[in-house]
Amino acid sequence: MLLSQGRLRQTILALTLISVLACSFLLFRADIFEKLPVPRQLKSEVPSPPKPTPLYKAAPERRPDITDNFPRATKANSSSALPEIPPWNKPPQPHVKEKTPLFIGFTRNWRLLQQVVVSYIAAGWPPEDIYVVDNSGVMQSNQKGLLTLQNPFYLNYSRLTTLLEVNVLTTPTLLTFAQLQNFFTYTALEKEWEHYFWAHMDSPVVSDEEYEEQGQYRSLYTRAVTVMRETMQPDYGPLAARWFAYDRLSLVRTQAYVDVGGWDTLIPFYMTDCDMHERLWMRNFTIEDGKAGLVYDVASSIDDLEIFYRRKPTSAKEEEPPAAVMKADGRNSQEYHELLRKLDEMQRAKNEDKAGRNTWQSAQQGGQGEPFYRDGAGFEQGISMTMNFGRDVFEAKWGRGPCNLREAGVGENDAWRLVPGWEKEGLQRQARKDREIGMKQRQKKQKENQQRARS
């Protein structure tokens, strides 16, 4: 029997109400169920991932500890306890009328620094004219004696100032090579030095004891003074620098470096010398070679620097006599040639080292727990990354990587204006095409302007 229409509507409404009530009841029960404690065995036991822990590189192989390379100085209490320099190399007395400051920058490796300082003193450079620049970045730690010999950034401040009687300047923080060079120039300006010398800390020197000028022997220092005097002549020309064995020892005319704006500190290390020298040449300054003596480039040190003083015991029975009773061995002696042989051997070893020429920079590993401690390997890696960054900056500045900017037709005003890789044939071809298109467009526009002018 068919349901009436009204009865059908009531049935549908009732079924709908029942469905709504049933759903509400189920949701209510589910909510209660979620709030009830769940038996341990019912929980999903999915282990959470372990917290990452630091993973360390393999520890570098421990190098042997270094020893001080001037044994006599370690026992000395005053400069008088050190040997006198060879009499033929003694600085002029009184001092020459010119100022002859010599900067030697230091960041790490005390043995190499002490070697180069001793070599300059023994070659006749007045100690009071030598300025060691402590660029270790440890602020006053070396001055206060807070670092130890195994620390790469250790410098024996009292040894330098009290025994060797040279000056020590301290940079406020670690400077890059470009910044250090500007520090030299700034110091020269502050002290009103029209010229100054600077030397690499891995380049010991020796006076050429076979050299004579008009029958008279000249030490490395007196020859360097002669070169400086030449450059001071009014008609000498627009000189920027004189190089002795490239720039291992350099004479700088202060104002020339100021005139070109100093070293570009955006290029911290490698390629900054190229940038500076090219800019000097672009301004028509000159850089010329000079000769003063023998200049070496080494990565190691002689074990006992006393050999530079060329003194020997007065008696074969006395192993380490007081310095005051030791006599000089004589100019151009067998001992002199033995010193040259050792330095030649050290220089050759540096140039032939398959690990690189500058391994001396990371030769020490100590200093843990001391002020301003830096991991040696990490410091070396950071410096290397900074060097690579500088190469990129140089290439971006001049649009090319090679150093010979002037030969490529680049001028001073081209800095930061050139398209990267502008020398590539593809870019040159596109540039020629763009110029042709531009010329045609200008000719067309000029013709249109002429037609409008006639109409």
**Given a cut of 90, is residue 127 above it in pLDDT?**
yes
Percent of the chain clearing pLDDT 70 (strictly above):
86
Average pLDDT of 311-331? 64
Output the pTM of the full model: 0.85
Mean pLDDT of 140-164: 97
Mean of pLDDT values over 12-39: 59
Contact 367, 147 (CB under 8 A): yes
46-76 pLDDT, tens digit each: 888 999 999 999 888 888 899 999 999 999 9
Q: Tokens 């301004």, residue?
A: 283
Query: Where residue 12 falls among pLDDT bands split at 50, 70, 90?
Result: low
Q: Is the model more confident about 306 or about 450? A: 306
Segments in 283-375 forming alpha helices (H) = 334-352
Say what the pLDDT of residue 1 is: 47
pLDDT of residue 202: 96
Q: What is the pLDDT of residue 115?
A: 98
In this predicted structure, the answer to whether residue 399 has a pLDDT above a threshold of 90 is: yes
User: Could you report the per-residue pLDDT of 259-276, keeping only the tens digit for each?
Assistant: 999 999 999 999 999 999
- pLDDT bracket for residue 316 (50, 70, 90): very low
Whether the Cβ atoms of residue 397 and residue 412 lie closer than 8 Å to each other:
no
Calculate mean pLDDT across residues 416-433: 89
Arithmetic mean of pLDDT over the chain: 89
> Quick check: 361 pLDDT over 70?
no
Question: What pLDDT shows up at residue 372?
Answer: 96
If we measure between CA atoms, which residue out of 241, 258, 243, 134 comes closest to residue 186?
Answer: 258
The four Cα atoms 206, 211, 212, 217 give a dihedral, to 10 degrees, of: 20
Q: What is the DSSP letter of 141?
A: T
Q: Which residues 6+ apart lie within 8 Å of 29 measured at CB?
A: none
Cα torsion 436, 440, 445, 446: sign: positive
73: exposed, middle or buried (C-beta count within 10 Å: 0-12, 13-18, 19+)? Answer: buried
pLDDT of residue 59: 83
**Is residue 387 pLDDT above 70, yes or no?**
yes
Judge whether residue 315 has pLDDT over 50. no
| Residue 314 per-residue DSSP state | S
Tell me: pLDDT of 313 over 60. Answer: no
Report residue 104: phi and psi, to 5°. -130, 110
pLDDT value at residue 455: 74
Output the pLDDT for position 317. 46
pLDDT band with cut points at 50, 70 and 90 for residue 160: very high
* pLDDT at 325 exceeding the cut of 50: yes
* Rg over CA atoms, the chain: 37
**Mean pLDDT within 347-364:** 80
**Over the stretch 271-308, which tens digit does the pLDDT of each residue have?**
999 999 999 999 999 999 999 999 999 999 999 999 99
* Residue 345 or residue 16, greater confidence: 345
Which is more confident, 5 or 112? 112
Contacting residues for 425 by C-beta, under 8 A, at least 6 apart: none
Give me the residue label for tokens 């390629």: 271
Tell me if 387 sits within 8 A of 154, measured CB to CB: no
Q: What is the dihedral of CA 207, 211, 215, 220, to 10 degrees?
A: -30
DSSP 58: P
62 CB burial (10 A radius; 0-12, 13-18, 19+): exposed
What residues pair up with 206 in beta bridges, in sequence order? 294
Q: Are 136 and 100 in contact (CB under 8 A)?
A: no
- Mean pLDDT across 88-93: 96
Q: What is the pLDDT of residue 304?
A: 96
